[in-house]
């Protein structure tokens, strides 16, 4: 599985720019939570291809696989290119989880009136909702 943000992007978003902390406990936490949050986002979207920019043909149309799903574009390192809203959702979710490491805090508590099934906080969910495959057609 590909992480949807880099360690450098996460460190910058969390304002962990102290060079003395490189490789410290915060980085250990991030090495666990970047893949965990990336996995949660991909699971929430239901189809992993929805998280990535599509590869485009010469006419600017998405290139489709044999199932009719867009093939993700790759960067110069051969990694899939996440959509900006997906990167933003991962960074917002990481910040919430970083701040409230024990699950407390208003970002991580879903009111009972909102139902069940939340795996991400409300802001991350709002960023991702336009990309998610509908459950009911």
User: pLDDT, tens digit, for every residue of 50-62?
Assistant: 999 999 999 999 9
Q: What is the residue-wise DSSP string for 21-90?
A: GTTSHHHHHHHHHHHHHHHHHHHHHSSGGGGBPBPB-TTSPBPB-TTSPBPBPB-TTS-B-B-HHHHHHH
pLDDT value of position 16? 87
Please write the tens of the pLDDT for every residue from 77-89: 899 999 999 999 9
Comparing 110 with 17, the larger pLDDT belongs to 17
């Amino acid at each position: 599985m590909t992480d949807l943000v880099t360690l450098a992007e996460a460190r910058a978003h969390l304002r962990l720019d102290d060079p003395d902390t490189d490789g410290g406990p915060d980085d250990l936490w991030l090495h666990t939570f970047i893949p965990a949050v990336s996995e949660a986002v991909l699971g929430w979207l239901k189809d992993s291809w929805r998280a990535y920019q599509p590869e485009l043909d010469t006419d600017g149309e998405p290139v489709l696989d044999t199932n009719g799903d867009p093939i993700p574009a790759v960067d110069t390192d051969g990694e899939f290119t996440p959509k900006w809203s997906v990167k933003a959702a991962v960074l917002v979710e990481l910040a919430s989880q970083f701040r409230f490491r024990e699950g407390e805090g208003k970002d991580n508590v879903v009111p009972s009136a909102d139902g069940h099934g939340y795996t991400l906080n409300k802001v991350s969910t709002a960023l991702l909702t336009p990309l998610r495959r509908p459950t009911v057609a």
